[in-house]
Amino acid sequence: MTAIADNGADGAEAIPAFRRWAILICVTLATTQYAMAILVVSVLLPQMQGSLSATQDEIAWVMIFNILATAVITPMTGWLEGRFGRRSVMLISMAGFSLSTVACGMATNLPLLVLFRIAQGTFGAPLIPLGQAIVLDTFPKRQHGLATGVFGMAVVVGPVIGPMLGGVLAEQYGWPWAFYMFIPFGIVALIGMALFLTDKGVRQRTGLDWTGFLTLSVAVVGLQLLLSRGQRQDWFESPEIIIEAVLALLAFHLFVVHTLTAKQPFLNPRLLLDRNFVLGLVIVGIYGMLNFTPMVLMPPMLQGILGYPDSIIGLLLGLRGAGAIAGFFVAIFVSRLDPRIGMTLGYLIQVASGMYMASFDTNTTIFDVGVNSAMQGLAIGVIWVPLTMATFATLNPRYLAEGSAIYHLLRNLGSSIFISLSVTLVIVSTATNYAGMTEFISDYNKALALPWLLGAWSAESTQGLAALSGEIGRQAAMIGYINAFKAYAFASLAVLPLILLVRVPKS
């Protein structure tokens, strides 16, 4: 990788300005689509749940397994680049991502949709890390600030526009059209990269520790299946859950043993000797837990309980992206100070956001949801820069590439695990509270005899009883979401003591 980087730095001045900017536009367009796809899907979850006859925990797999596929494949990016070259990897990734996105729109059942979302995450995983490397190699060092600013801003702005367009298209034409809108952008990005991208430097024939990669993948997938299907299969009463737990534990044991004994393991254990890096992994894992979970929980709550249309949900999620843009600008100034200040500020905003969501009820307004969504985005933007700086501040530069792979692996893994746990918490809390509240619907409850209490509801007729059951279910579901939001706030609060342990080099 050194030869490639050096050659890129020396040869960037020789690249014509038009070609530089063409590469930047095409690569940015490609990477932005992957960032857009995550938020667009979160808007579509309620509509997909109804059209595919899926339960709430099942439809969450559409997000979970896409993130999981990204987590597994991201650490392979360096090997893929060295083995096949940047141009080939980017073209194949973009083509595969575009085709799998179209296939998602054509899916007629949940298993197919989940399968195509896994393919989408698999092909899309190398786009962002490799795209950033290409931008840095294409522009000379004196223009790195400008180039990375354009690249980063576009990747952040994309998720603002995506949910808005996706919500409108889903409301007018159905959820598949929110996937089809990626077709023209994918074609433009693919043609542009094919015309302007070239492989630079000497291709590195580096090996991949397949034993470590496969055992880690099996462990991660086994854990995710256990968490995703545990509630539906009654946990360890089910042979399936027992098998998944045994596979996950056995694979993780083999991974640890192999990592400690292999000459060139998939993940270098020496990285764990760096205090800041280990703390950064824990903190970024919690960062990942808090990043995508609200995007899975909010749309079903907004549509199922509050009755918001898809276009409004898309607008509210777009405000999260707008908040993230503001957060990145704040991070520019905060990063000049102690990074612990920025992380503390960001996580305190997360705590406030979680408590704000925990105060929601069935009369929550669009203004409340919009402000909270912007707060979450602001926190995400403020945290990311100082967290990344602190994590890699004391790490040996030769371990940066490998450390970055683990860093993003933990971020994505934290997202997929906490989404599963939060959805399970909502389902369990809803069922428990529904059972508790229905106990009060009885002839022995004298309050029900008061005519002004029940109103349109009635325990005397089938229609009235059905309406009463629906309202109880609505209130029980709201309590379930509130419990999940409290868990979100607690996770945000729990990370604050860890920030105090981070060391800041005097230099």
Phi-psi region of 374 (alpha: psi -120 to 50; beta: other; left: phi over 0): alpha
Q: Could you list the pLDDT tens digit for every one of the 507 residues in the chain?
A: 333 344 444 566 677 778 888 888 888 888 888 878 877 787 888 888 888 888 877 888 888 888 888 878 887 887 888 788 888 889 999 999 999 999 999 998 989 999 999 999 899 888 887 887 788 778 777 776 677 667 766 666 666 677 778 888 888 888 899 899 889 988 999 999 998 888 764 455 566 778 888 888 888 888 888 887 887 777 888 888 899 899 999 999 999 998 888 888 877 788 888 888 899 889 988 988 888 888 888 888 888 888 888 788 888 877 887 888 888 788 777 767 788 888 899 999 999 999 999 999 888 888 999 999 999 988 988 888 788 888 887 887 777 767 777 887 888 888 888 888 888 899 899 989 888 888 777 767 776 666 666 666 666 667 777 777 888 888 899 999 999 999 999 999 999 999 988 887 665
Contacts of 206 (CB under 8 A, 6+ apart): 78, 79, 82, 83
- CA dihedral (397, 402, 405, 409) positive or negative: negative
Q: At what angle do helices 17-51 and 61-73 cross, to 10 degrees?
A: 140
* Closest to 15 in 3D by CA, of 146, 151, 145, 198: 198
Query: Which pTM value belongs to this model?
Result: 0.79
Query: Exposed (0-12), middle (13-18) or buried (19+): which is 461, by Cβ within 10 Å?
Result: exposed
List Cα–Cα distances, 187 to 35, 118, 190, 314, in angstroms. 17, 21, 5, 25
CB 64 within 8 A of CB 420: yes
For 75, which DSSP code?
G
Burial 145-178 (b: 16+ CB within 10 A, else e): eebeebbbebbbbbbbbbbbbbbbbbbeebbbbb
